[in-house]
Amino acid sequence: MVVMLSCWRSVYGQVAMEVFAHFAPLVSDQEPMFELLMRELVRGMGIESQ
């Protein structure tokens, strides 16, 4: 449950920041940032592919 909530919190936060344009002044393309978040979450869960 803790892992699921941690992942949800990270994804929700990332999406909310993008939707409300909080990254807009700093980052024009949020896709690389989102992919980095996804890679970190997968790595943190120990399920990354080789």
- In the DSSP assignment, the letter for residue 23 is S
Which residue, among 9, 10, 34, has the nearest Cα to 23 in the 3D structure?
34
Query: Number of structural domains, the chain?
Result: 1
Read off the pLDDT of residues 12-42 as tens digits, 9 standing for 90 and up.
999 998 888 887 778 788 888 889 999 999 9
Which residue, among 6, 5, 1, 32, has the nearest Cα to 18 in the 3D structure?
32
In a domain, 50, yes or no: no
In a domain, 8, yes or no: yes
> How many angstroms separate the Cα of 4 from the Cα of each of 1, 18, 24, 42?
5, 21, 28, 12
Q: pTM for this one? A: 0.71
Domain range for 25 is 2-45
For residue 48, pLDDT beyond 80: no
In a domain, 27, yes or no: yes
